Chains A and B, each alone.
Chain A
Amino acid sequence: MNEQNLNPKLFEGEVEQVPTRDGYGQGVVALGEKNPNVVVLTGDLSESTRANMFQEKFPERFIEVGVAEQNMMGIAAGLALSGKIPFVSSYAVFVPGRCWDQLRVSVCYSKANVKVAGAHAGISVGPDGATHQALEDIAIVRCLPNIIVEVPCDALEAKKTTIAIGEYTGPSYFRFHREKTPVITTQDTSFKIGKAEIFREGENVTVVACGPLVYQSLLAAKELEKEGIKAEVINNHTIKPIDKLTLAASAKKTGAVVTVEEHQINGGLGGAVAEVLAENYPVPMERIGMPDSFGESGQPNELLEKYGMSVKKIKEAVKSVLKRKK
């Protein structure tokens, strides 16, 4: 086990829960205090993206663009080309969803130092329904050259991610979530862009997860242990550039992989991991995620359950992949 660097109360009933978007708000404020070039933009979604935390402290560096994401992405590119470090804050269905061409040409092609913060990602947005559940954002961003993609697993890591992205020079995309989710990490948990972290060591199977579902993956691993299955759990927060070494080494050690994400199974974390393993160390693999369909309204937990992103489904996928192991 290697969970000593994680929240010690992780598996207790009263584990602290904080939305990852809070980490974004705290992160941009911390950056703003250190660097006068940090600028935050929003498209009429100041409060729900937590951009308002920056707005209150640095109104002169906060830009309200209105419901106009294409313009917002372009303005951010112009700011970045003039030496600013702009954070574009909206829902992940709109940034990058509504302005992919602007992200591609005005930002990525120009290597403009724009930071794109996609809020309300995943199906756990819940009652708003399919239109507002960003389940394709990782796929459509990670195919673009020059941009990095991050999916923090909890609010603390979201804050660390925001700060790291602000200090990194280059286009960046990161997504966070609406609902309160367990605080998995501590201040001491190591975080580095591009470095996947082994949160729990195991021998029989590797569970590669990103975002708040890292928690469900850890729970599944804990329950599987009672059945004699030792699962290694990797928090793969950086989808791009993906940590090939850690992934291939773990696959080599365990011989089977399950990926877990709140995103379409096509093109997201599962796709990225499959690409790495197919080229470096092919092993049997199963993908947990949105099964190539749109979501619907419902409570977050009901939706995760219905669309197969639950502890139970992770355990089933592990058992299924173990049967295919040679």
Chain B
Amino acid sequence: MKIGEPQDHLGHTHIEILEKTANAIRQDIIKMLLEAGSGHSAGPLGMADVFTALYFSVLNHNPKNPKWEDRDRLVLSNGHIAPVLYTTLAHAGYFSREEALGTLRKLNTRLQGHPHVGSLPGIENSGGPLGQGLSQAIGMVLAAHMDSKKYWVYCLLGDGEQDEGQNWEAIMFAGKNKLFNLTAITDRNNIQIDGMTENIMPLEPLREKYESFNWHVLEVDGHNIQEIIDACNEAKAIYEKPVMIIAHTIPGKGVDFMEFDYHWHGKPPKEDEAKMALKEIRTLKGKIISEHE
């Protein structure tokens, strides 16, 4: 697919179509959180563009055959942003939007509060307790090497979760073993539950940390779908090192009263807040700007 050229009968470009998808995903995140009555708002909204880029452009996957053995894997380490994973998977066709919007966190649901592998198609790992994703992604990469498989493994990490030492054990291992078919993406939104990351436990200089562990590092605007796709493509051309993409995002992106406010890390909107949020997201056009504009 050539980016920048009209892709539908209305003359929209690929990127414009992806932006519409990201917008629909944001709306569904608000709706599902309102229905669930608990869950995380800021992280999922902030990662809507990254998830859209991955599932609608970057990943080699097949929603009709979720266990296809040559599929690219996406490991979600910070499982609390499950709402964006669930809505994206529903939009991609793994299961219905009705299930996504109506059953999150409810008894007997397949959409557990934090993802559970085996419960729901498209989920590659169980996650929630922080710091556990990258190691599992590495295991999947090693299995690919042993089986001479060409699939790529993506791992999404929160920034706050990198307080956990296990991440650095994994980062050290991946650097040592030159795991080229591993692309990690850090959601650099600068918040965690108790406040700003640099106050709770400073991560900076983050880029230099990864580089000193022998990773190749790229930085993108995490709301610029074109940039995200380009970085993922560039990562595929790096053969000597694993790649970390630092995606600079705004927590709560798309909803003014949630943006940058760490209090929205772990709570859902109430009914009036959801109404306001949906209205804002529906009129977002032009506020999330990609390269082509």
Contact = CB atoms under 8 A, between A and B. Distances in A.
A278 to B, nearest CB: 31
A77 interface: yes
Contacts of B125: 77-78, 81, 106, 110
B162 to A, nearest CB: 14
B143 A78 contact: yes
A301 to B, nearest CB: 38
A102 B135 contact: yes
Contacts of B69: 83
B139 to A, nearest CB: 2
Interface string A161-176: 0000000000000000
Interface string A86-112: 100000000000000110011001110
B166 A74 contact: yes
Given A63-B142, A74-B139, A75-B173, A81 B117 contact: yes
Nearest to B136: A78
Given A65-B173, A74-B132, A78-B139, A106 B126 contact: yes
B124 interface: yes
Contacts of B89: none
A241 B173 CA distance: 35
Contact of B169 (A68, A82, A84): A68
B142 A79 contact: yes
B144 to A, nearest CB: 7
Interface in B35-82: 69, 75
A235 B28 CA distance: 57
A82 B117 contact: no
Interface in B151-175: 165-166, 169-170, 172-173
Most buried by B among A61, A68, A75, A101: A75
A63 B143 CA distance: 11
Contacts of B195: none
B181 to A, nearest CB: 13
Interface string B101-131: 0000000000000001110000011111101
A71 B116 CA distance: 20
B245 interface: no
A31 to B, nearest CB: 15
A170 to B, nearest CB: 12
B117 A78 contact: no
Nearest to B164: A70
A279 interface: no
Nearest to B151: A82
A110 B117 contact: yes
B246 interface: no
B221 to A, nearest CB: 30
A135 interface: no
Nearest to B145: A60
Nearest to B153: A78
Contacts of B133: 74
Given A75-B135, A110-B117, A105 B127 contact: yes
B137 interface: yes
Contacts of B136: 74-75, 77-78, 81, 106
A8 interface: no
Nearest to A108: B126
B140 interface: yes
A111 B69 CA distance: 18
A74 B167 CA distance: 10
B146 interface: yes
Given A68-B169, A106-B135, A110-B118, A101 B129 contact: yes
B138 interface: yes
A73 B165 CA distance: 14
Most buried by A among B69, B75, B134, B143: B143
Given A61-B146, A83-B143, A75 B166 contact: no
A24 B12 CA distance: 62
Contacts of A288: none
Contact of B135 (A61, A70, A82, A111): A70
13 contacts: A39-B146, A74-B135, A75-B138, A75-B173, A78-B136, A78-B139, A78-B141, A78-B142, A80-B139, A81-B117, A82-B147, A102-B135, A111-B118
Given A71-B166, A80-B139, 5 more contacts: A66-B172, A66-B173, A71-B169, A82-B147, A105-B128
Q: Please list the 3 inter-chain residue pairs (A to B) with the smallest Cβ-Cβ separation, ordered nearest first.
A: A78-B139, A74-B135, A82-B143
